Structure 1
């Protein structure tokens, strides 16, 4: 049964490349023989690798099994995957309800985290490997979230690029409970446009209808929404939200060329650019405020086709000079220092700064003074380095300096609490020599001020997929 992971990866990549190529060459093609790929040994091995490498593999679903417990079981991974393959081929596989856990979100709110069984995660990963190369050919260049090769920074640069071209009014949209309210009927209808294999369609639908098991031990049916916490969920959500992408792509192309759009605007019309990252999106408007306000009704009507609605409290219309927050960034046009020219600037939002400060504070709390200084500094370095890397493409130098000062103060306070009987001079000699930046032995605290600012270039519709330059499949 088991292939080596590298060999399995090559085979899967090769087959995905063919599927992607066929789907791209024929936009109306429906694929009728995909189910055997879901049960293919190479696809199962690759799916298992993806699931095992995810941190969620350490958390059990309703069956109580984790990736580690499966590895240490009598049959091991090979027996587990062989059993899954047998069930899939016999079409006896049935997903179990997703275990749901409430996670505090702040301000008295909670969000629900779905924990599927490991077997369900592996089968969902197989389905994603088969469906994603096909569906990707139909997805819009304006969509960035949970797509291979695309990043949040691409979405941010798209906004900045459009704003510089005159798209100054912004309809800042948010979809209410997107992953929980997507219509199953509408979603399956959109999937059938590309997938004709009834076995694959039935398997996807079984995940949609699998239900959830709450913390109170009561099972509930899922009448709408995508599988909570599932690997397949973001792909299905993107598929459903193509209803929004297609609407704005059609409006964009209705005027033909850029010259046609200019002529339309001179006659009093407006043109629109959608930038979407999963269920968060903005519509950039080249026109007036009234054109932007009109999107409330238009977008609401489009979303209703797939059972969705706008989150009224999070949706608003703003001007680019007022600025708005998107994907953690503050996006706002300012006058350049020392000149009359104005540019759209990107920098960490106030909320992003507050969040990283809270995380630094929690990691340097007095309750963790029992752990070594090197462990604390390692954890602080990991979270601040990741934060700085995310924002390195914006005008983040001032934010980095602010974080640097805060990090230094928190580390100093923590070291004083860890060594209450030692004086300041002892702490300085042990942790601040040479120089004044803290370290513990070989573990030096990351300095946010050392992060280099780099411009992220706008890539437009030239973002490659993983299947652009892949090799042919290994069939043996």
Structure 2
């Protein structure tokens, strides 16, 4: 990076001009320096207790019960929950003349992807809520399809005698059965594929270059 900053600029006339400050606009180094500078801000926001998050998941730092240690807990954001709930309701309000397996395939594809994304985190309660929602919407779809059907016939024809919608080929995906994992942000603890200390030395060099550029008035475009 230092060599790139000191390499100079090739003018239109073909001559080499020294570059004592700044970086060429549109150069490949500009977004790299911007990412380095913004990483500090991202880590500051992420490490704040209950700090805001612009991602589909929200992170909160709490003290673990029975200990004095602080842990970061990741929850599905309320906006993401409302979005998937709206999608489920939209799918279940489609044409009731289609067979039940068609509806179940659409719901399963949506639920599997959503649950796989939010599986690393504290999502069990959200998955339970999602289970109740998708079950209720599917049952309402069946009752709109057969307005005079009794609960006994509904369970026999569409739930195999139980309460969970299923057919001979496909069963409604159950979000509550998804086992969650506890991912923790590891930062610099992530193993480096290079020799020991290489990652730390590169980060130190990068910080020094950014600090030098700020003192000399370099502007990261």
Q: Same fold (TM over 0.5)?
A: yes
Report the equivalent of 2:50: 322
Q: Highest CA radius of gyration, 1 or 2?
A: 2
Please tell me whether residue 284 in structure 1 is matched to residue 74 in structure 2: no
Partners of 1:382 and 1:399 in 2: CA distance? 18
Distance 1:455 1:334, change over 3 A: closer
Q: Does the 8 Å contact 2:61/2:73 carry over to 1?
A: yes
Partners of 2:177 and 2:131 in 1: CA distance? 9
Map 1:69-80; keep pairs closer than 5 Å: none
| CA displacement, residues 289-323 of structure 1 (integer Å, 9 cap, x when unaligned) | xxxxxxxxxxxxxxxxxxxxxxxxxxxx7973233
Q: Does the 8 Å contact 2:155/2:162 carry over to 1?
A: no
Query: Which residue, out of 235, 239, 242, partners 2:32?
Result: 242
Q: TM-score, normalising length from structure 2?
A: 0.67
Report the equivalent of 2:121: 394
Higher strand residue share: 1
Map 1:157-306; keep pairs closer than 5 Å: 186-187=25-26, 189-190=27-28, 241-247=31-37, 273-274=39-40, 283-285=42-44
Report the equivalent of 1:382: 109
Structure 1 unaligned segments of length 5 or more: list them.
Answer: 1-26, 29-184, 194-239, 249-272, 275-281, 286-316, 465-476
Query: 2:50 aligns to what SS in structure 1?
Result: coil
Partners of 2:46 and 2:122 in 1: CA distance? 21
How many residue pairs get aligned? The number is 171
Q: Does the 8 Å contact 2:156/2:162 carry over to 1?
A: no
Partners of 2:99 and 2:192 in 1: CA distance? 44
Distance 1:463 1:429, change over 3 A: farther
Partners of 1:410 and 1:381 in 2: CA distance? 13
| CA displacement, residues 34-88 of structure 1 (integer Å, 9 cap, x when unaligned) | xxxxxxxxxxxxxxxxxxxxxxxxxxxxxxxxxxxxxxxxxxxxxxxxxxxxxxx
* Structure with more relative contact order (C-alpha pairs < 8 Å, separation 6 or more): 2
Distance 1:318 1:383, change over 3 A: closer
Q: CA deviation at 1:435?
A: 3.2
Report the equivalent of 1:134: none
| CA displacement, residues 415-473 of structure 1 (integer Å, 9 cap, x when unaligned) | 11111132222111111224322112211010001111124464756588xxxxxxxxx
Report the equivalent of 1:342: 70
Partners of 2:65 and 2:128 in 1: CA distance? 19
Partners of 1:451 and 1:241 in 2: CA distance? 39
Q: Does the 8 Å contact 2:155/2:161 carry over to 1?
A: no
Query: Which residue, out of 162, 167, 170, partners 1:443?
Result: 170
Q: Does the 8 Å contact 1:320/1:331 carry over to 2?
A: no
RMSD: 2.9
Report the equivalent of 2:137: 410
Distance 1:339 1:435, change over 3 A: farther
Q: CA deviation at 1:334?
A: 2.0
Partners of 1:433 and 1:443 in 2: CA distance? 12
Distance 1:463 1:401, change over 3 A: farther
Q: TM-score, normalising length from structure 1?
A: 0.33
Structure 2 unaligned segments of length 5 or more: list them.
Answer: 5-23, 194-221
